[in-house]
Amino acid sequence: MTTNAARTVFLLAHTGRPAAIRSAELVVQGLLRSGLGVRVLATEAADLPLPPTVATVTDATPEAVNGCELLVVLGGDGTLLRGAELARASGVPMLGVNLGRVGFLAEAERDDLDKVVDRVVTRAYTVEERMTIDVVVHSNGTVVHTDWALNEAAVQKVSPERMLEVVLEIDGRPVTGFGCDGIVCATPTGSTAYAFSAGGPVVWPEVEALLMVPISAHALFAKPLVTSPTSVLAVEVQPHTPHGVLWCDGRRTVALPAGARVEVRRGAVPVRLARLHQASFTDRLVAKFALPVSGWRGAPH
């Protein structure tokens, strides 16, 4: 796992896609030509045409990125969230290159690979911290599961023919109860992910807040809620309802028995993201969703 280079970059890629394989090859070649070391997972190295100077590690653990200054991730949203897990655990900043569709976590697109390599080599990037959430599941008064998420923790129904009956709580006080398909508790980063699909608001990343967004609720008052970042959100699954399921970032899941209680609060550990551009989130939003802005004249001068 050693390298002769004084600077090392960890590369994570979705090697199941031909585009990712070619992109990974170009990034590796560019970094090596500039004298940087590259480290990859052994399972991914088997699918990539890599020179022997590229170091490999067996498992994606925090120790795997020891000594690395950056984690470069090539892929769609799923791969970027996989990279976020490693970035959070290690504290190494993640630079995402979008090879999927929307890719709000990505800082660059497939056509920007040369620019990505140049910015990494010259350290022409900044690092920002993104808020996470910590999740605790209680059952019969006992903690049965703990987790975290960068985007969201979603409490969802399992039985398609029956709604999930829940009661929502903010800061120790009940808000409302209803039957629904689920509840999404999200960060500002996650406001453009599952919470957005459920009808939640778009929240700018620099805003510190927590979101609670119902999914297909059968109720008159089932509006998205935006709370203080210090608030504690809770979703109680009613004892008489079918069991549910908790998904964190759509990657990690645990069953929720009837009567379970899910608590969500601001995460103790953020995810660090490398930024190449100083463009506003407004411009990113317009570009990612191809929003119609023709006719805009701007503020009068």
Residue list, annotated binding site for NAD(+): 77-78, 82, 151-152, 162, 181, 192-197
8 Å CB contact between 73 and 97 = yes
Question: Is 77 a known active-site residue?
Answer: yes
Binding-site residues: 77-78, 82, 151-152, 162, 181, 192-197
Kindly give, in sequence order, each residue whose CB lies less than 8 Å from that of residue 55, ignoring residues fewer than 6 positions away.
1, 2, 3, 8, 37, 38, 39, 40
Residue 235 contacts residue 262 (beta carbons within 8 Å): yes
The tokens describing 185, both together, are 């508790």
| Residue 89: Cβ-neighbour burial (10 angstroms; 0-12, 13-18, 19+) | middle
CA distances from 158 to 14, 178, 214, 301 (A): 29, 16, 16, 56
Q: Which of 77, 114, 171, 283 is catalytic?
A: 77
Active-site positions read 77
